Amino acid sequence: MGQVMDTEQKKAWRGLRLILVEVSLGRMIISMPIMVLFFNSIGMNQSQIALSQSAFSAVMIVLSVPIGRVADRFSRRWCKVIGNFGVASSFLFYATVQGFHQVILAEILLGVFMGFSQGADEAMTKGYSEVIDHTGKLFAKRWALMMTAALAAEVAGYLAGPAIGSVNFRLAIGLTALPGLLGGVLALFMHDVGEKLVKVHANPLRDMWRAMKVCLGLPKLRWWIVGVAVTSGITHVMVWPMTIVLLAAGVPASWLGVGWVVNTLAALGGTRVARLVSEQIEKWEWLVVLMPMLVVFVSLAGMMLHLNLVTVWLFTGLGFARGWTSATVPVCVQKCVPKGMEATAMSLTKVARRLLFIPAGFLVGVAADVSAVWAMGMTLIIFVPLGLLATWRIWTFGK
């Protein structure tokens, strides 16, 4: 019996190592720093950029829960295999687009396949971790480590992207397919783990609806889903306007890639802090949502008062908040999820995040067409009240 357990634990550790590298590769989007410049080169403005991201979000809203159910019901491993190879193909297509409508199609394809590749990250990490440690402490530590490694991979991508993009934008986008190809190969060597969702209804739609009702019927989980939407959304909507903010502050266009790197290094700091306090997070759950909201509020408000080459450094607060959120919030969500529904629950968080992002991202994009200050102000108006409400409700459940 002990020998069997030892073998299972070895397989689990191997799975944790593989998924750490695979997730990190998925975050190495080489073309990210030059995408706004590429969009502008084919005649797109900030409103159209926001609409293209809304198309991506709309696909994720429609498909996240069905993909989560497929992962929970059949195979999380094969979802990752299909997703990674599909993402690679989508970026190869993206490198050939000539205008706004083709960008929309490319974003739709990315939405479909990223839904597959990322839909089981938390569930598989939790499953592997629980084979080794049932207390949940290993899961919290491994997830924080994974987010740290993923952000380090982002830095590598952001350093390479501007250099390659200075030669050719399309070359940088095409090379972004390479991490997806490698991730797909790694996923082939993983194994499925954790309990699978038991089929209750013959109709798969009714079965999916049942799983959603179970998850949304848990009040604490419901408010954590809102917390995910708000904490990830407040930094996500500023991804594309961030280029506008840097330029408005006087940062030379040739240094934009450095700005992205600095922002990601700040995110690494956020994940590092999260790792240090991972075992105490359960006692202070309400801070998980409140901390990033306060950091982003101070950062954006400071830049709005006077945007220049000194105050623009405050944008690193958005990076810190993103790192903290990515390392802490999924762990808190997974603690509330019924067995066998881990991927379904995380899919619901992605749906909530995208539902909020579509109108918020469009409004912030429209504001960015006016000025960088308007974009930052619109972000605070939308997200701060929601963040305070989610913090209060999560705090009441912990009393």
pLDDT grade for 92, boundaries at 50, 70 and 90: very high
**Is the pLDDT at 2 greater than 70, yes or no?**
no
Is 380 part of a structural domain of the chain?
yes
Is 203 part of a structural domain of the chain?
no
pLDDT digits (tens, 9 = 90+) for 110-121: 989 988 877 678
Non-local CB neighbours of 221 within 8 Å, separated by 6+ positions: 215, 333, 336, 337, 345
Most confidently predicted of 63-72, 264-273, 338-347: 264-273
Give dist(CA 396, CA 390) in Å, integer: 10
* Domain around 258: 2-190+210-398
Give dist(CA 56, CA 115) in Å, integer: 10
Average pLDDT over residues 9-17: 92
H-type alpha helices, 166-255: 169-175, 177-188, 204-216, 219-236, 241-248
Higher pLDDT, 185 or 274: 185
With tokens 């993983």, the residue in question is 190
Average pLDDT over residues 196-203: 56
Q: Can you read off the two tokens belonging to residue 14?
A: 């191997």
**Domain total in the chain:** 1
pLDDT grade for 155, boundaries at 50, 70 and 90: confident
Query: Above pLDDT 90, what percent of the chain?
Result: 27
Is 264 part of a structural domain of the chain?
yes
* SS3 (DSSP) at 126: helix
Let me know if 4 is exposed, middle or buried by CB neighbors in 10 A (0-12, 13-18, 19+): exposed
Give dist(CA 103, CA 39) in Å, integer: 9
> Do residues 261 and 155 make contact, with C-beta atoms less than 8 angstroms apart?
yes
Specify the amino acid at residue 265.
L
pLDDT digits (tens, 9 = 90+) for 117-147: 776 787 788 889 988 988 878 888 888 888 8
Is 338 part of a structural domain of the chain?
yes
Give dist(CA 211, CA 203) in Å, integer: 13
**Is the pLDDT at 1 greater than 50, yes or no?**
no
> Do residues 325 and 231 make contact, with C-beta atoms less than 8 angstroms apart?
yes
Give dist(CA 355, CA 292) in Å, integer: 20
Let me know if 379 is exposed, middle or buried by CB neighbors in 10 A (0-12, 13-18, 19+): buried
Give dist(CA 225, CA 348) in Å, integer: 7
Give dist(CA 125, CA 349) in Å, integer: 17
Average pLDDT over residues 270-288: 77
Give the Å distances, CA to CA, from 152 to 25, 28, 32. 10, 9, 15
Is 204 part of a structural domain of the chain?
no
Give dist(CA 149, CA 171) in Å, integer: 25
Which of 44-53, 180-189, 192-201, 245-254 is predicted with the least confidence, judged by mean pLDDT? Answer: 192-201
Is 82 part of a structural domain of the chain?
yes
> Do residues 138 and 331 make contact, with C-beta atoms less than 8 angstroms apart?
no
pLDDT digits (tens, 9 = 90+) for 15-45: 999 999 999 999 898 888 788 889 989 999 8
**Is the pLDDT at 198 greater than 70, yes or no?**
no
Q: What is the pLDDT of residue 13?
A: 94
Look at residues 287, 379, 360 and name the one whose alpha carbon lies nearest to residue 324.
Answer: 287
Q: What is the pLDDT of residue 383?
A: 93
Is 198 part of a structural domain of the chain?
no
Is 394 part of a structural domain of the chain?
yes
Q: What is the pLDDT of residue 200?
A: 56
Q: Quote the pTM value.
A: 0.70
- How many other CB atoms sit within 10 Å of the CB of residue 337? 22
> Do residues 115 and 60 make contact, with C-beta atoms less than 8 angstroms apart?
yes
Give dist(CA 367, CA 373) in Å, integer: 8
Which of 113-127, 149-163, 190-204, 272-286 is predicted with the least confidence, judged by mean pLDDT? Answer: 190-204
**Residue 146's CATH number:** 1.20.1250.20
Give dist(CA 320, CA 150) in Å, integer: 14
pLDDT digits (tens, 9 = 90+) for 312-364: 899 899 999 988 988 888 888 877 877 767 767 777 887 888 788 888 888 88
Q: What is the pLDDT of residue 286?
A: 75
Non-local CB neighbours of 223 within 8 Å, separated by 6+ positions: 390, 393, 394, 397
pLDDT digits (tens, 9 = 90+) for 356-396: 888 888 888 888 888 888 999 999 999 999 999 988 988 88
**Is the pLDDT at 233 greater than 60, yes or no?**
yes
